A and B are shown apart, each in its own frame.
Chain A
Amino acid sequence: MNASNWTADFLARLSADITVAEIDLSSAILWQIESHAWQRFAELAVQQNLRWAAGWAEHVQNRFFINACFEKQGEYILLRTIIDDSNPELPSQATVYPAANRSERHTQDMFGIKFIGHPDNRRWTRHQAWIENSYPLRKDFPVQGAPVGITPPDMHYPFIKSHGTGVYEIPVGPVHAGIIEPGHFRFQAVGELILNLEERLGYVHKGIEKIAEGREPESLARLAGRVSGDTTVGHCWAACMAMEQAAGVEIPPRAALIRGILAERERIANHMGDIGAICNDVAFVFAQMQFTRLRELWLRTNATVFGHRLLMDRIVPGGVACDLSDESCSLIKKEIVELRKELAEVILALDLNSSLEDRLYTAGFLSEEIAAAFGTVGYVGRSSGQDKDVRRDAPYAPYDQVTVKVALENQGDIASRLWVRYKEIMAALRLMEEFIDRLVAGELRAEWQTPPAGSEGLGIVEGWRGEIICHIRFDADNKIARFYPRDPSQLNWPALEKLVLNNIVPDFPVCNKSLNGSYSGNDL
């Protein structure tokens, strides 16, 4: 069954229950429904195996636009309902889709929209930086807010409690022992065994959605590049894609190919760092040293060829801010050959190491059912049988010109998440070679056109962590009205609470690293 078939069939099924207005957006299918049918839609969607991919709201004049994004077989549906801002409430989709849980809580905290029947209506993004009953993303909330002295700690968040003989709690964070981002983990354990884990994130919430408002495209792209520093290419690309759709700007073919090379370089750099770090968390330092060495060489080439080690601000609205000379192309190609040779040696040493096998196999198990229920994406989903990759399923330039080989595993353990990363490195190297071979002379940047007020775009790309969804709406005069980036971490973080169960507390770091969620990308 091809994609257009299922949307037509699904629409026919819906028509018995729900009135759907079909609106044609250049970037996606937009279906608008009545707010009272919000939950009913989810019930019908889950029966058809649609994946819930993202949810966010917008404040437009005196109304709230509430959006949810669904996906099946690479086809995306943007679902929307519009409600008055005087009494904003609608039925929750989190009752049907666990993936929508935190997203709806975020919307509740930021807009004061109530999701009726939500299984867990505790606050999520709000700690104590702004008071209850005030909502930062409403248009009448000043960007400076009304901070009073020192923001108090969030003392009274109602964590889940456990009782019984021998059960104890371990609170961890927000400041952790390593060089990592802040967040709080609350463990309940018996002996060394983890009974329950509850994540409390939101510590690095820095108001990205609010401070995006009123920016111009260039400035928004810079901000998007800092939603999560390790995914600077991915987020910047998604945001630029959304803006380009809104403005009707088409990027030149050469720019698309260079974007592809940048994205694959980012993927490889991060995967190499992760493989080393996973091994380091089970005290296999050899791999950590080898992979940090290879990563450093890779980043140095980034600096030489593109002018920035992490590739920040190389993607700009309309194209790219860097070119590739012939010398650079041959340098990259030579590096690819060398990296393959190095990886062959190092990976074989990992594969044949029985102590590594002992620690990584069966640890941190995430079943296919749970992975699907939470809508996990990227290497986390693909290690638990979720065969999704935007580059293949909903290809955008330059991926529409090549065959993307998607790595898939179904053991669902830490070892799977390591091997998927390795396979993705190998596939990414191949893609980079293909993109370089296809490079055509031409412009690097299309001329920007000011989009009409109210125009919107939905950028969807495969970042190194997985699918990134970015929604952007413009005001008049080239100004941003709304920027919402959905980092893959937002879908993957809840899976961590599940995959650590029945593991021992000392294995939490390696479980966490195998998922490697972004705190910044989650907290916004």
Chain B
Amino acid sequence: MLRILKKILTTGVVTERFKTPKDEELEQLGIEIKSHIDKKFSGSIAIRQVDAGSCNGCELEIHALNNPFYDIERFGVHFVASPRHADVLLVTGPVSRHMQTALLRTYEATPNPKWVVAAGDCAACGGEFGVSYASCGAVSNVIPVDVVIPGCPPTPLELMKGLLSLMNVSA
């Protein structure tokens, strides 16, 4: 136990590293997100992530939003386990035809008002997979999309920028 506490203490709060010039951008982004969220969502936004057919690259970077460097929860952005708890669907991948109904049902299960963010090149335009017998391509071919975050995969910083632009769209 002492060992764990010692490591926690010596590690310190790595999140503060964003005060350095290069990472300051993120801190500012985060604050801006929060101010918008404050207006629209009373200080919190609940995201349900849906992988509709991605290669799992985007999932790795979405996961990174929760690591101590980005710690997206400090801005009131958190990931929830059910679409019924969500304000936002964060959808990745080209929509595989086998996931089409599941995505539509997830969308229907999300209460209004709701927003959809399509994250990654595949979700944006079909990416490397496009439209085929097995793939519907872009998320917007299946459900309405409010914000597109390009990138293969988008970096955690780009994902944050995308969330910010969602706030601008819906504000």
Contacts and interface: CB of A to CB of B under 8 A. Distances in A.
A178 interface: yes
Interface stretch (B24-32, B36-44, B91-99): B91-99
B133 A310 contact: no
Contacts of B75: none
Contact of A174 (B8, B69, B81, B102): B102
Contacts of A130: 133-134
Interface string A293-332: 1011001000100000110100000000000000000000
B55 A142 contact: no
A144 interface: yes
A310 B153 contact: yes
B112 interface: no
Q: What range describes how many residues of A lie at the interface?
A: 35 or more
A292 B68 contact: yes
Majority secondary structure, A binding face: loop
B132 A152 contact: no
Contacts of A520: 54-56
Interface residues of B, number: 53
Interface string A171-183: 0001101111110
B61 A144 contact: no
Contacts, number: 173
A211 interface: yes
Contact of B67 (A144, A181, A295): A295
A301 B69 CA distance: 14
Contact of B4 (A144, A147, A299, A349): A349
Interface in B1-32: 3-4, 7-8, 11, 14
A153 B79 CA distance: 26
A207 B102 contact: no
A309 B133 contact: no
A201 B155 CA distance: 28
A386 interface: no
A78 interface: no
Interface stretch (A223-231, A413-421, A491-499): A223-231
A203 B96 contact: yes
Contact of B56 (A178, A208, A228): A228
Interface of A: 127-130, 136, 141-147, 150-154, 174-175, 177-182, 202-208, 210-211, 222-223, 226-230, 232, 273, 286, 289-290, 292-293, 295-296, 299, 303, 309-310, 312, 345-346, 348-349, 352-353, 518-520, 523
Given A286-B8, A296-B64, 20 more contacts: A144-B131, A151-B101, A153-B102, A175-B50, A179-B63, A180-B51, A182-B53, A203-B53, A203-B102, A204-B93, A204-B96, A211-B129, A229-B58, A229-B153, A273-B63, A289-B68, A292-B64, A303-B155, A349-B7, A523-B96
